[in-house]
Amino acid sequence: MKQVGPGEVLAHKYPEWVIMIIACDAEGRPNIMPAGWGMICSGDPRLVCVSIGLTRYTHRCIEETGEFVFAWAGEKQGQLVKDTGSTSGRDIDKFEKFRIRTADPAEISVPLLQGAAINLECRVTDSLLTGDHTIFVGEVVAAHLPDEPIATLLNFGGEFAPGAPIGDLT
């Protein structure tokens, strides 16, 4: 084994799933960004968390409204990940620019993402400042699956591939 810098080892962690985080600003305008640093962090209560950079427009949105959608990107959303991960809601309306299709939420005021494998509606219960990111913890208040199952999207470090094919898991 050889010791290397932390930045070097992280390039070897893939594949990683991609979570699409949607949040609205104070005026109710939705924004979306991909996040690799998201996970389930409690079973009861059902909680997820995501680490969002302080400079992201999404950070401001979640701070302002206390709500977000946590959606596992679907297998065909690689280009969407690239588009929404290289632009900021501070500068453009990503939903308009990239013609992103949405669906109505059940419990919060943030739209769901069509084409995603899973959509979770979340309300922030806690947050932790971690260096240049904040980890936002969200309680899952509603969950949605597409009418036909969609596989998740795996990130191999900038190249994307579908996760394992899924059947009827119900």
58 contacts ligand FMN (rule: CB under 6 A): yes
Ordered DSSP codes for 23-49: EE-TTS-EEEEEESSEEEEETTTTEEE
Footprint of ligand FMN on 72-91 (CB under 6 A): 81, 85-90
How many whole angstroms separate alpha carbon 74 and alpha carbon 88? 21
List the one residue out of 123, 148, 149 whose CA is nearest residue 137: 123
Stretch of 34-42, 62-70, 106-114, 122-130 lying at the interface with ligand FMN (CB under 6 A): 34-42
- Least Cβ distance, residue 53 to ligand FMN (angstroms): 3
- Four-CA torsion 135, 79, 11, 128, nearest 10 degrees: 0
48 contacts ligand FMN (rule: CB under 6 A): no
Stretch of 39-47, 53-61, 101-109, 162-170 lying at the interface with ligand FMN (CB under 6 A): 53-61
Among 51, 102, 125, 127, binds ligand FMN (CB under 6 A): 51
- Four-CA torsion 136, 138, 144, 148, nearest 10 degrees: 30
Among 57, 70, 72, 136, binds ligand FMN (CB under 6 A): 57
34 contacts ligand FMN (rule: CB under 6 A): yes
Catalog residues that contact ligand FMN under the rule CB under 6 A. 18, 31, 33-37, 51-53, 56-58, 81, 85-90, 133, 155
